[in-house]
Structure 1
């Protein structure tokens, strides 16, 4: 009996995986986003044994340049592809700088249980021991695996399979740059995707949002805590027109006393305030470091600041909670979202 191979669409967006250095020892200094997706795919001939692969170039840029426009364009294109009966999964090659953010946005907004996998590399294809080809091969393996169905958007790097909700980049150059606070969902070994757990928080088909219904994303800013931070930082963020401020606080969402007045004033203007932590892991407890109920603030739970930002952008995109006049119940709804997702 002939095995029927799944149909996978490969979308290129640029990044290190599409980069080129002047020499084979340029692993950190190189030109980003040079190679077209067809050339990247051609370097992984073994992938043709796994799936029927079509490729298209959507962007050609470093992911540090991604903004709401790219997120929406990419999400809507993937949504269109996933509705096709002749598409079984999607793989996106992506710069590693903001790959976890794009993955989480898609995790929240794609209304499909088909596998979607993001992949990048820490070394360009021109470098000695580039990780790009194997990462891409492994990503295609995962996208073609029936076990990946229903697990939301995944990120594959360094032989590990991560859920988009948890994964973050933690190194500027190491191949093991990505990790999750609760560990990976699984690994890829010798061309086999091995899963050991599944994400339990709502995503994709169980999410409250659909990319097809989102036409614009509100601005949400992040203020990073540091010793001696001044209220002028909060004022500047408010003046920029944000709908919410995520404060990447010290410790358990602690707020320096000189900022409390400015953040309360921001909330009085209709700008939501979310306490997160700059530590990178752990839980910011509501009414822990600050009296959130009294100030009508929000707590990010265990989510890192840059992902709490994306969750707020998605939540406010279809909610009146970002308007100048709002009820306290909007804060309750947003706190539930931060708690559940």
Structure 2
């Protein structure tokens, strides 16, 4: 019996030693390193407040500062090291080209720092898709940039801002988001800046990518990607805003039944360098507007045919003889995003063939 007793004793001792080593190893193991995320606040509904907890329209945007936004979501500390900067405090419908340039330059400065792993930008939803696309073309880093907003003010019952902000920080801290271009994240969904658009005036699921579809979801405290945009963005674009203080004037003329030339002529007289024509259908040109657009082009104004429809490709030489008119077509970009690409394009060239190439790759 003695040999069996000794062997059992040794076995117990061995297991005890192994357990002690494992426990010590776990105790000495450093905690997982959290990503360093900077939250740049610009205002909007996510920073808004209403007269009561049931006020979801008629509230005041851009009243809550970035520190209060961060403090309202203490769970952020578990997923990233966050710090905030108040870049603007404004409703997004009032943003200008100068705001975009300032924001993009700040993003580029921050992302060039080794201790910054990603950026989250809180923003009003009215123009979130435009700011996101501008950044998609001008940010010079593959580090994640996530633009986030809310459809209900911070004081409302079931305000969506806190969970949207939490998800946006999760996304910006995710290695899976690296190199995906600028992202827009609301309502547990991930969309590409180039393709997303606001589709409803007030519902929480307003941001969608028609036809092409979202990139993925945020669920179980992590990002789930299923596809990505194939168009060039961020570090792969040719646009450098480092020394830019002003962008070329580009305006949008809306197409409709009984359209006239009044708005077009006013924009040209005011110094527009480019015009986005948001035509009906496939960017169709009414007889009474085709001539004035051609006249504007002969004066040196770049004309881009887009569509008010919101989905689909605007076919070159489809509803107009673009080659003869020396017009450019917008591919799948909606009018407001076509304006952004043309503004940036005009900082590089006025050649319509080169500009058309930009619309096919960005």
The interval holding the TM-score normalised by the smaller chain is: over 0.9
Partner residue in 2 for 1:190: 220
Q: Distance in 2 between matches of 1:58 and 1:4?
A: 27
Shift of 1:215: 3.3
Q: Is the 8 A contact 1:157 1:178 kept in 2?
A: yes
1:308 aligned onto 2:329: no
Give the 4+ runs in structure 1 shifted more than 4 A. Answer: none
Q: Alpha-carbon deviations, 1:259-289, whole Å to 9, x = none?
A: 1110000000000111000000011100000
2:266 to 236, 241, 244: 236
Structure 1: distance between partners of 2:86 and 2:243: 24
- Residue 272 of structure 2 is aligned to residue 272 of structure 1: no
User: What is the CA distance between 1:75 and its match in structure 2?
Assistant: 0.4
- SS of residue paired to 1:9: strand
From the superposition, tell whether residues 213 and 318 of structure 1 become closer, same or farther in structure 2 (CA, over 3 Å). Answer: farther
| CA deviation profile, 1:111-166 (whole Å, cap 9, x unmatched) | 10000000000000101111100000000000000000001100000000011010
CA contact (8 A) 1:13 1:57 kept: yes
Q: What are the superposed Cα offsets for residues 231-283 of structure 1, whole Å, 9 maximum, x if unpaired?
A: 22211121111110000000001010001110000000000111000000011
Partner in structure 1 of residue 150 of structure 2: 121
Give the distance between the partners of 1:90 and 1:210, measured in 2 at CA: 19
Question: Matches of 1:232 and 1:114 in 2, distance apart?
Answer: 45
How well do the aligned residues superpose, as a CA RMSD in angstroms?
0.8
Instruction: Confirm whether residue 288 of structure 1 aligns to residue 309 of structure 2.
Output: no
Q: Is contact 2:273-2:302 (8 Å) kept?
A: yes
After TM superposition, the structure 1 = structure 2 runs for residues 207-286 of structure 1, keeping only pairs within 5 Å, are 207-286=237-316
| Unaligned 5+ runs, structure 2 | 1-28
Unaligned residue ranges in structure 1 (runs of 5+): 322-329
Match of 2:14 in 1: none
Hey, what does 1:327 align to over in structure 2? none
2:45 aligned with 1:24, yes or no? Answer: no
TM-score normalised by the chain length of structure 1: 0.96
TM-score (norm 2): 0.91
TM superposition shift of 1:210? 2.6
* Secondary structure of residue in 1 paired with 2:43: coil
Residues 1:179 and 2:208 are matched in the alignment:
yes
- Name the structure 1 match of 2:90: 61
Q: CA deviation at 1:214?
A: 3.2
* Inter-partner Cα distance in structure 2 for 1:167 and 1:254: 24
Q: Does 1:52 align with 2:55?
A: no
CA contact (8 A) 2:98 2:245 kept: no
Q: Is the 8 A contact 2:47 2:69 kept in 1?
A: yes
Shift of 1:212: 2.1
Deviation at 1:317?
1.7
CA–CA separation in structure 2 for the residues paired with 1:198 and 1:165? 11
- What are the superposed Cα offsets for residues 149-185 of structure 1, whole Å, 9 maximum, x if unpaired? 0011000000000110100111110000100121111
Distance 1:232 1:58 in 2: 37
Distance 1:213 1:151 in 2: 26
Maintained 8 Å contact 1:79/1:212? no
Instruction: Indicate yes or no: 2:191 matched with 1:162.
Output: yes
Counterpart among 91, 100, 113 of residue 129 in structure 2 = 100
